[in-house]
């Protein structure tokens, strides 16, 4: 699974957030942080779905679990608007200053 690729795509969909992370040289750190979070969430969802439907096909469970994990992550990422960036800082990313 290419969790970093998925996270990079999600960050690319939020150009203001990605620009800010690049500016503070936090893109790689944030990418790795969220990739780890995505993988952990994916595994949790796989276990949950497999317990709920033990007769289900493994590939189907894995695919559905990834979709749910991505949706979870997307809901936690700031949209990139100035208001959301100010209230939802990334790991080790300085808060936006008022002069930006």
Segments of the chain scoring below 50 in pLDDT: 85-90, 94-100
**What range defines the domain where residue 82 resides?**
3-87
Q: Give residue 80's pLDDT.
A: 62
- Is residue 95 one of the residues assigned to a domain? no
Q: Give the global pTM.
A: 0.79
Supply 28's token pair: 């790689």
Q: Give residue 89's pLDDT.
A: 47
- Is residue 93 one of the residues assigned to a domain? no
The CA distance from 61 to 13, in Å, is 26
Q: Give residue 78's pLDDT.
A: 87
Count the domains in the chain. Answer: 1
- Is residue 59 one of the residues assigned to a domain? yes
């Amino acid at each position: 699974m290419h969790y970093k690729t998925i996270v990079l795509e999600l960050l690319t969909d939020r150009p203001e957030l990605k620009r800010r992370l690049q500016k503070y040289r936090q893109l790689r750190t944030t990418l790795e942080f969220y990739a780890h979070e995505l993988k952990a969430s994916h595994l949790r969802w796989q276990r949950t779905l497999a317990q709920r439907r033990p007769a289900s096909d493994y590939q189907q469970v894995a695919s559905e679990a990834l979709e749910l994990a991505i949706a979870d992550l997307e809901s936690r990422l700031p949209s990139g608007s100035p208001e959301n960036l100010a209230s939802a800082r990334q790991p080790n990313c300085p808060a936006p200053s008022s002069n930006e």
